[in-house]
Every structure is written in structure tokens, then in C-alpha cells.
Amino acid sequence: MAKIIGLGNALVDIIVFIDNDSLLEDLELPKGSMTLVDFEKSTAIRKACEHLDFSIASGGSAANTIHGIAKLGIETSYVGKIGEDDYGEIFKSDLIKSHIHPILLPSETHTGRAVALISPDRERTFATHLGAAIELAADDMDAEQFKGHDYFHIEGYAVQNNELLEKAVKLAKAEGLFISLDLASYNVVEDNLEFLKYIVRDYVDIVFANEEEAKSFTGKQPEEALDDLASICKIAVVKTGKSGSLVKSEGITYKIDAIEAKVIDTNGAGDIYAAGFLYGLAKNLPLDECGIAGAILAGKIIEIIGARLDEKSWKQATELFNNSLSQNS
């Protein structure tokens, strides 16, 4: 059976439910924003929220995708960098508990953490301290990490370290892995456009992008952006929100409908879509069914708070997917 390895920023997600937005003002965090903060600021935010309900889990875009793939029964590994602290132990333990093989490099820097402050209206405000996560470097990568794997999934945020990303894809390609890249953020694409185009053209097999990321990469709207992306990689995927997603490979375009869903929180929707799609590829399913798997998981994740599906949602997603397969057969 296929085995998938992921690489990204190893962050611990701390989800806090706040009583009102005055706390955001006190902490000088613009509502709905994602603010990068230093360790002292992150600690102060945690202290200000210690009386509120919260949950903790390993996170980061690629980690969310790998968790989803592991939950679907595919063997997985994850590469990242963590500090030798309590949050580092939480991150590693969560991977192991989820049956993900950890390839975690140690650092003397604090483990990265993302505090998500959820307002009563469900809007999220992020305060992210990247910490050890961004210290993952080209020298940390070696061919041995990729041996025995078939797919390599990378989050777009890794492109902020050009040397790391280039070495990782070269090693993975030399070992014969199928390489998947989620563009992650339109501003990351804009800031690294020429380098990203080189990496996608020469090494990447499948690109995941939402409308904004696809436009930043190609300068075009979804359908034309899909064509451009598909001209330089084997499989192009452009996610179009409630309109669904578009998949193109070998000149054939598939339109995948979104499932009906009540939107509560869109965080993690792209990550879990990639999990469903890569699961389908690993199981040798047709590309339209890969897209359906991604769409179902994305549809279920936006109905709950957080970037991980609960057991009830997993059951519902599995039933929907099995029903769609029986209708297509």
C-alpha cells in the first residue's frame, strides 16, 4: 500500500473560546487577522486566556493533511522541527497517537504555536509564534527520510525557505516520490513567484490552489488558471469555495461539486481537501473520485470548529463517500 510523507511548519494549535471581543482589543490583535508574534507576546496571550476553555492539538497545514490521510488508513510520516519543551512533546505525542511516524528534528528554540481566539460570532483571530518550526533547514534533510514512501506532500509555507524546499523536492524526486504542493497562501505565492514556478515546473506533480492562490500564480481566473497549472504539472487542482473544485490532468478537466454544508469555520478546509484527494490517489481511484473525497471532507470540516474532524463527522464523511462511489459505479 502507498505511503505518504509530509513536511511543514510544526505548530501546536491552541484554540481558545473568548467571551467577547474586548480581549482582542486588550491584546492589540485585530479581529479576524493572523498576526505573527514573538515568544513573549505569545506567552502573554496564553496567560490572558488561562481562565477560558481551550483545546490543544498538533497543527500546521501539512500536519493537518497528514492527520487526515492517517485517519483514512494510509501509512504516513511527518517531517518538522520542534523545541525540547512541553509543546514539543504534545506535538510528537499527537502524531504517534494518530499512527503517524514522526521525523522531528530538535531545536533549542521554543516549539511553534498558533493561538486561535474564537469570538462569540465564531470568527477566528490568530496569534502565531513560529518558533522552532521555521528553523527546519536544508541540512536537516536526507534521502533516508524519503525511502519507503510513495508520495511527498509539502505545505506552501515551506517555500519561505527556498534552500529547504529545493533540497527536499530533489531528494524526494531522486527516490521516485510523487510530489504534492499546496500553495497555502496568496501572499506567499506573490512573494516567491519565480522560485515557485521553477519548483512546480521541474519537480512538482500535483498542485493544490484556491482561487486567490491560483490567480497569484497565473494572473488568471480559475478555469484559465487551471489550464496554466496543468500545463506545467501532472495534476492541477483549483478549489473554488462553494462552487466546488476543478481538476485537470492530461487534457481532461473534471468539475467537482461542493457538498451541502452549513458553514461554521472554514479553517483547515484546504488541508483536509488535500487529505481526501491524496487518499484517493494512494488508493488508485479515478481523479473525479479523488476530488469527491476531498470535497466531502472539506464540506464536513467547515461545519465544525477546528481543523480536525471529530468522530461523528468522520462517520458522516465515510458514509457520503461510500454512497457516491456506489452511485458512480
Over residues 281-295, the pLDDT tens digits come to 999 999 999 999 999
Region 198-213: mean pLDDT is: 96
Region 77-101: mean pLDDT is: 96
Which CATH number applies to 3-9+60-111+131-328: 3.40.50.880, 3.40.50.300, 3.40.1190.20, 2.102.10.10?
A: 3.40.1190.20
Cα dihedral sign, 229-200-81-176: positive
Give the N- to C-terminal CA distance of the chain in Å, as an integer.
Answer: 23
Greater pLDDT, 327 or 91: 91
Residue 139, judged by CB atoms within 10 A of its CB (0-12, 13-18, 19+), counts as: exposed
pLDDT at 329: 53
Least confident of 11-20, 115-124, 145-154: 115-124
DSSP 189-204: HHHTHHHHHHHHHHT-
Least confident of 137-151, 181-195, 296-310: 296-310
Over residues 232-250, the pLDDT tens digits come to 999 999 999 889 999 999 9
Supply angle C-alpha 184, 188, 253, rounded to 5: 50
Region 298-312: mean pLDDT is: 84
Half-sphere exposure of 9 (CA within 13 A, CB side): 23
**Residue 325 above 80 pLDDT?**
no
**Residue 67 above 90 pLDDT?**
yes
The single residue listed with the C-alpha cell 487551471 is 226
The single residue listed with the C-alpha cell 490572558 is 48
Helix (H/G/I), strand (E/B), else coil: 52 = coil
Region 18-23: mean pLDDT is: 90
pLDDT at 194: 96
* pLDDT category of residue 209 using cuts at 50, 70 and 90: very high
Asked if residue 78 lies in contact with residue 154, where contact means CB atoms within 8 angstroms, the answer is no
CA distances from 118 to 38, 51, 292 (A): 20, 14, 30
* pLDDT category of residue 307 using cuts at 50, 70 and 90: confident
Over residues 160-190, the pLDDT tens digits come to 899 999 999 999 999 999 999 999 888 889 9
Which residues are CB-contacts of 304 (< 8 A; sequence separation ≥ 6)? 264, 265, 310, 313
